[in-house]
Chain A
Amino acid sequence: MALDFIIRCEAVAKSYWRGTLEIPVLQGLDLEIPRGGYYALMGPSGSGKTTLLNLIAGIDRPTGGSIEVCGYDLNDLDDDQLAGWRSQHVGFIFQNYNLVPVLNAFENVELPLLLTRLSRRERREKVLEALALVNLTDRLENYPRQLSGGQEQRVAIARAIVTEPDILVADEPTGALDAKNAEEVMALLERLNSEVGKTILLVTHDPKAAHHARIQIHLEKGVLDRTVEVNR
């Protein structure tokens, strides 16, 4: 049976410019990720893994090649269309959680839903559902400063999944957590992949975190070095 690829990258290149000096970060990278996949992008600093994640998530643009995600060629979308596309198809999980400090857990999770046409009641239901999934329904009114790092990251995961996106992208989601909380977060992501069927693309340095993925993609100096299937 043919695989349903949700992400297709063809000859993707990305360079940054420092004055007149071109710094290539990704050099003609090809990659296909099937729907429901759980992939970890690994590699040393500067290998281009976060850049690739940003390109796939539609928050940066390639200088060459094409990226098709969820049936959309991202090069065809302008800035506003790309923003709209992100709100529907991508959920973000960041290393430093990136919660808005002046909004409580409920309001943080509700933020992406304010871009939809859902009623207040429908939004509330979805927020409670997402927070229940990360086991934080007792912390609705808490502000980020009143939560532990692990709880903050779980709120961030609830925010990422509340719109039911096709893909979750996570950039070093355990980078700021202790071992116990890191394990909990990774277990949660694994559940979202195996039970809810979310496609997850994870950037990490941490081999333990990467071990939760099904496929590890190793980048080296902007090119695909090797792909490893994780045996569990």
Chain B
Amino acid sequence: MVWLAFLPLLPYLAWLVWAALRHPIPLSYNWRSLWQRKVSTLSTAGAIAVVVVIFVVVLSLSQGISRAFVSSGRADQVVVLRPNARVELNSSVERGQARILKTNPFLVQDADGPLASCECMVVKLLELADGSGSTNVAFRGLEPAGVRMRSQVRLVTGRWFRPGLPELVVPQKMVGRFANLGMGKSLFFSGQSWNIVGVFEGGGSAFDSEVWTDVEMLMQAHRRTTFSSMLVRLHSAEKVPGFVKFLDDDKRLKLEGKPETEYYAQQTEAGKPIQVLGNLITVILTVGAIFAAMNTMFAAVASRTAEIGTLRALGYRRVEILASFQWEALMLCTLGGLLGAGMALGFNGIQTGTTNFETFSDISFAFTITPNLMGQGVAFSLLMGVLGGFFPAWRASRIPVTEAMKGG
């Protein structure tokens, strides 16, 4: 969190506020001085704005991925996997094991039977709509109960797939991004054509990045004899630890259970490489922006040494000069921060995708630029202002008065 970076700076910032309130070299003086040098002010503010945009967008990306996974699970459901399989793609569950589990008394029953879904997960290459290439997309085969167990998923158009037919239902978020992925269209793979009969909305969950079909059809198409996983619902969230322990202890089944919420929370790691890369780029650009701010402020000090000398002669102390120029740097960077936060808003709602490095498949999500993220962007620019402005302000405050009066 960017706010934490302010903790060590709090005494300094508090002093700055106090300095501005107590002995004001008017802030209008700084604002007008910035405005007098429009070109350098705006170019520096522009550089800071770019950094803030990247910062906000990277944060939005990582939060978008986290939200997708965190909102995917239910507290009373358990994902059953092969022991030590981190993700469904690496897991297998035998038909015999699945049959035994379905009769387990821990499981909730509804009118159509136990709420348990044997599922199969595969990854397929799909062409992107913009012609920029293709990317891996997760295909989930599931039983009708599996659809009922994902309450955050709702059908937007068409109908759900019918067991035994090569039919697909696709998430709305992927429709615009992939070629041939839309209502009434079809995909050709494993020697047959698969009709898209419905479009669903996953409520911002990880299911927004999955194409769904009948589990048996998908297994046949890929000559699979085992499921990838099983999703089961228990009577309450309190029953989950007991069920997980039951699976651990049952040497005959040799399966592992993970609370569904925990399973998806672990998957938030999927966004880490992108986040690390984004942060790295942000750090590099930040250093550049701090130097840009520093350069602009040093130039401001150099061109205003006679003014500084005059202020000192009139009785303003070194600390007041320091505070004044520090405020000017903060104004400059805040201007950049506000510009950047405004520009980042342009990303709001844009549908995009990134790679889940756990499954090497696409994660679809929409950038959401919240007021909190924008606030963090502006706070980040303030941080740049403190760091980039301190040394020029310090320099301004240390120029001997007689030297400053001569214009440096």
* A residues with CB within 8 A of B: 54, 57, 59-60, 79-80, 83-84, 86-88, 92, 94, 96, 98, 100-103, 107, 111-112, 114-115, 159
Chain A residues near B35: list those with CB within 8 A: 102
Whether B310 lies near A54 (C-beta < 8 A) is no
Whose C-beta in chain B lies nearest to the C-beta of A159? Answer: B314
Q: B307 contacts which of A59, A79, A87, A100 (Cβ < 8 Å)?
A: A100
Kindly report which residue of chain A lies nearest to residue B33, judged by CB atoms. A102
Nearest first, the 7 A-B pairs at minimum CB distance are A87-B315, A102-B32, A59-B401, A98-B310, A83-B317, A86-B315, A112-B314
A115–B316 CA distance with the chains assembled, in angstroms: 7
Contact A114 B317, CB 8 Å, known A100-B310, A102-B36 = no
Segment touching A, from B23-31, B138-146, B198-206, B219-227 = B23-31
Please, which residues of chain A bring their CB within 8 A of the CB of B126? none
Cα distance A88–B315 when bound, in Å? 8
Set of chain B residues within 8 Å of A80, measured between Cβ atoms: 317-319
The residue from A54, A86, A100 contacting B402, defined by CB atoms under 8 A apart: A54
Known: A79-B318, A94-B405, A98-B306. A57 touches B313 (CB 8 A): yes
The answer on a CB contact under 8 Å between A112 and B315 is yes
Please give, as numbers and ranges, the residues of chain B lying within 8 Å of A84 by CB-CB distance: 315, 317
Given A59-B401, A92-B313, A114-B26, A103 contacting B32 (CB threshold 8 A) = yes
Min CB gap A116→B, angstroms: 10
A59-B401, A94-B310 known; A102 vs B29 contact (CB < 8 Å):
yes
- Contact across chains for B401 and A114 when beta carbons are under 8 A apart: no
Contact residues in A for B123 (Cβ distance below 8 Å): none
- Closest B residue by C-beta to A60: B402
* Cβ contact of A92, chosen from B24, B314, B319, cutoff 8 A: B314
Least CB distance from B120 to A in Å reads 71
* Apart from the given pairs A59-B405, A92-B313, A100-B310, 6 other A-B contacts in the complex at a CB distance below 8 Å: A54-B402, A86-B314, A87-B315, A98-B310, A102-B33, A115-B23
Contact of A87 (CB < 8 Å), options: B29, B36, B314, B319: B314
A114 touches B25 (CB 8 A): yes
Q: In this assembly, does B312 line the interface, its C-beta being within 8 Å of a C-beta of chain A? A: yes
> Which of A96, A101, A102, A115 is within 8 Å of B315, CB to CB?
A115
Query: Is B311's CB within 8 Å of the partner chain A?
Result: yes
CB–CB A86/B317 < 8 A: no
- Residue among B24, B312, B402 making CB contact with A114, cutoff 8 Å: B24
Complex: A86 Cα to B401 Cα, angstroms:
12
Alpha-carbon gap, A96 to B36, bound state (A): 20
With A54-B402, A59-B405, A60-B402 known as contacts, the answer to whether A100 contacts B315 (CB < 8 A) is no
> CA A231 – CA B307 in complex, angstroms?
38
- How many Å from the CB of B146 to the closest CB on chain A? 68
Decide if A111 touches B318 in the complex (CB within 8 Å): no
Q: In B272-307, which residues have CB < 8 Å from any A CB? A: 306-307
Bound form: Cα–Cα A98–B29 in Å? 15
Residue of A nearest to B24 (CB): A114
Please give the distance in Å from A100's CB to the nearest CB on chain B. Answer: 6
Contact B314 A111 (CB under 8 A): yes
Closest to B400 in A: A60
Q: What CA separation (Å) do A92 and B401 show in the bound complex?
A: 13
A102's nearest neighbour on chain B, judged by CB, is B32
Contacts of B24 in A (CB 8 A): 114
Chain B residue contacts of A115, Cβ below 8 A:
23, 314-316
Question: Chain A's nearest CB lies how many Å from the CB of B11?
Answer: 20
Across the interface, which residues of B come within 8 angstroms of A98, CB to CB?
Answer: 306-307, 309-310, 405
B-chain residues with CB within 8 Å of residue A111 when the two chains form the complex: 25, 311, 314
Q: Which residue of B lies closest to A92 (CB)?
A: B313
Q: How far is the CA of A57 from the CA of B401 in the complex (A)?
A: 11
For B307, the closest partner residue in chain A by CB is A100
Flag if A83 contacts B405 (CB, 8 Å). Answer: no
B141-195 CB contacts (< 8 Å) to partner A: none
Are B29 and A100 neighbours in the complex by a CB distance under 8 Å?
Answer: yes
CB distance from A87 to the nearest CB of B (A): 2
Q: Which residues of B contact A86 (CB under 8 A)?
A: 313-315
Contacts of A87 on B, CB cut-off 8 Å?
314-316
Given the complex of chains A and B, what is the CA–CA distance between A212 and B319 in angstroms? 39
Q: Which residues in A have their C-beta under 8 angstroms from that of B317? A: 79-80, 83-84
Q: Which of A60, A84, A102, A107 is the most central at the interface, judged by chain B CB atoms within 10 Å of its CB?
A: A102
Contact of A59 with B26 in the complex, beta carbons under 8 Å: no
Chain A residue contacts of B319, Cβ below 8 A: 80
Alpha-carbon separation in the docked complex, A101 to B32 (Å):
9
A98 CA to B312 CA, complexed, in Å: 12
Q: Name the distance in Å between A110's Cβ and chain B's nearest Cβ.
A: 9
Question: Within the complex, what minimum Cβ distance (angstroms) separates B404 from chain A?
Answer: 9
User: What's the least CB distance linking B324 to chain A, in Å?
Assistant: 11
Find chain A residues with CB under 8 A from B29 CB.
Answer: 100, 102-103, 107
**C-alpha gap A86/B311 in the complex (Å):** 11
Q: How far apart sit A96 and B306, CA to CA, in the bound complex (Å)?
A: 10
**Which residue of chain B has the shortest Cβ distance to A98 in the bound complex?**
B310
Cα distance, A80 to B313, chains bound together (Å): 12
List 27 A-B pairs, Cβ < 8 Å. Answer: A59-B312, A59-B405, A60-B401, A60-B402, A80-B318, A80-B319, A83-B317, A84-B315, A84-B317, A88-B315, A92-B310, A92-B313, A94-B310, A96-B306, A98-B310, A98-B405, A100-B307, A100-B310, A101-B307, A102-B33, A102-B35, A103-B32, A107-B28, A111-B311, A114-B25, A115-B314, A159-B314
- A130 and B400 alpha carbons, distance in the complex (Å): 29
- Bound-state CA distance A94–B401 (Å) is 13
Nearest-Cβ distance from residue A3 to partner chain B, whole angstroms? 28
**Distance of A48 from chain B, by nearest CB (Å):** 13
Q: How far apart are the CA atoms of A80 and B309 in the complex, in Å?
A: 14
